[in-house]
Amino acid sequence: MRYELYYWPGIPGRGEFIRLALEEAGADYLDIGQSPGNGVSAISAYLDDPQASRPPFAPPFLKAGDIVVSHVANILQFLGPRLGLVPDDESTRFWVQGLQLTLCDWLLEVHDVHHPIGASLYYEQQRAEARRRASLLIGERLPKFLGYFEHVLSSNPQGDTWLVGDSLTYADLSLFQMVAGLRYAFPQAMQRLEPEIPEVSALAVRVAERPNIAAYLASGRRQSFNEQGIFRHYPELDG
């Protein structure tokens, strides 16, 4: 099975949460947004196809043969059993997915810091509002989300190596990406906050050291964070 990932090129963005799962599992996939002859036009053509009976609202979406799945959490839930990134039992799968949806909520809050009024305006058109929102993100929301995942790790009955059970799930990969993105966007804030969340920081190291992830991070496929993406470094927002 060759998976096809549809996501905008030029930023890690939401697509990166899917790429990390595919890379960890060594899956065969084509990154349509970045592949020659495809790119933005192939994504737009799919979204705007008037014949499509099941059109996704927005990227990312994944094609797996005839199946098309949209949304980060939904795609990961689809891939989880296929790539061995989630345990077998149903109760645990819903728990992993609850963690993933918490991560997705958190990601949106981080995005909206630089776009509190609307995604259709430039950052420069909502800079004052962004500053107000950033101080709440850093003062209240980052400690709350980071503290929650620290608590989940430290109260896992099977040990504090991974969020769930005793092996890596897609939620661990996503938490790694959140930490990486936050370190890029808010280096000062994270330097203050990380001593309070040693288990989360240690998990991020463990993920980065997985052989397939380490190889991916060192490759040209891993895109840099930048100021067109979700995690943006604007020094005036990093209080």
* Site residues, a second copy (CB under 8 A): 50, 52-57, 61, 66-71, 73-74, 77-78, 90-91, 94-95, 97-98, 101-102, 105, 108, 112, 116-118, 120-121, 126, 129, 132-133, 136-137, 140-141, 148, 151-152, 155-157
Nearer to a second copy by Cβ, of 92 and 201: the residue is 92
DSSP E strands in the chain: the ranges are 3-6, 29-31, 61-64, 67-70
| In the complex, minimum distance from the CB of residue 239 to a second copy, in angstroms, rounded to a whole number | 14
**Antiparallel, parallel or unpaired: β 3-6 and 61-64:** antiparallel
Helix (H, G, I), strand (E, B) or coil at 76: helix
Smaller CB separation from a second copy, 84 or 139:
139
- Determine the 3-state secondary structure of 32 from DSSP: helix
Which residues lie across from 63 on neighbouring strands? 4, 68
List, in order, residues 6 or more apart from 120 with CB less than 8 Å away. Answer: none
- Min separation Cβ 53 and a second copy, Å: 5
Q: Is 42 exposed, middle or buried (0-12, 13-18, 19+ CB in 10 A)?
A: middle
CB of 36 to a second copy, least distance (A): 28
Nearer to a second copy, 47 or 208 (CB): 47
What's the closest the beta carbon of residue 50 comes to a second copy, in angstroms? Answer: 8
Contact between residue 61 and residue 121 where contact means Cβ atoms under 8 Å apart:
no
Helix locations, 115-185, DSSP H:
127-136, 142-154, 170-185
**Considering beta carbons, is residue 71 or 210 the nearer one to a second copy?**
71
Q: Is 68 or 217 the residue whose CB approaches a second copy more closely?
A: 68
The residue type of 60 is P
Q: Closest separation between CB of residue 189 and a second copy, Å? A: 16
Q: How far is the CB of 200 from a second copy (least distance, A)?
A: 14
Looking at the Cβ atoms of 160 and 217, the one nearer to a second copy is 160
Q: What torsion do the CA atoms of 221, 15, 79, 20 make, to the nearest 10 degrees?
A: 40
Nearest distance in Å: CB 56, a second copy: 6
145 vs 216, which CB is nearer to a second copy?
Answer: 145
Closest CA to 86 of 28, 5, 164: 164
